[in-house]
Amino acid sequence: EEQLVESGGGLVQPGGSLRLSCAASGFIFSTYEFNWVRQAPGKGLEWISYISDTESAIYYADSVRGRFTVSRDNTQNLLYLQMSSLRAEDTALYYCAREKAAAGGDSLDIWGQGTMVTVSS
């Protein structure tokens, strides 16, 4: 079964840092591209980052650029999101999601269950 499982969420103080992980299984991780999408409590979906299969292309939403860093380890089938200078408005459920097609921008066909990040003092 093709699956993504996020971890690393938790409670962090404003200005703090956190690293999220997304473990992939059931497919050849290194050939796919990925995104991070978040959802604040009771709110809609917000795309925040994209990474290509070889990390040659990386994009961020304006809301997180300069504070968040996406990376991947194709030997361990892991996707990461390093978050720093966290703000209250970063509080959300963070999903990793797989690109359906090569080159990206098509759609997101596999989603994890999400990991909750709460930024509060």
Partner 1 sequence: QSALTQPPSASGSPGQSVTISCTGTSRDVGAYNFVSWYQQHPGKAPKLIIYEVYKRPSGVPDRFSGSKSGNTASLTVSGLQAEDEADYYCCSHGGSNPFYVFGTGTKVTVL
Residues that bind partner 1 (CB under 8 A): 35, 37, 44-47, 50, 59, 61-62, 95, 97, 100, 104-109, 111-114
Nearer to partner 1, 4 or 18 (CB): 4
Residue 89 and residue 87: Cα distance in Å, rounded?
5
Nearer to partner 1, 26 or 75 (CB): 26
Q: Give the DSSP H or E segment for 107.
A: none
Residue 80 and residue 35: Cα distance in Å, rounded?
10
H helix runs in the chain, sequence order:
none
The distance of closest approach from Cβ of residue 48 to partner 1 in the complex, given in angstroms and rounded to an integer, is 9
Residue 102 and residue 38: Cα distance in Å, rounded?
22
Nearer to partner 1, 70 or 119 (CB): 70
The distance of closest approach from Cβ of residue 49 to partner 1 in the complex, given in angstroms and rounded to an integer, is 8
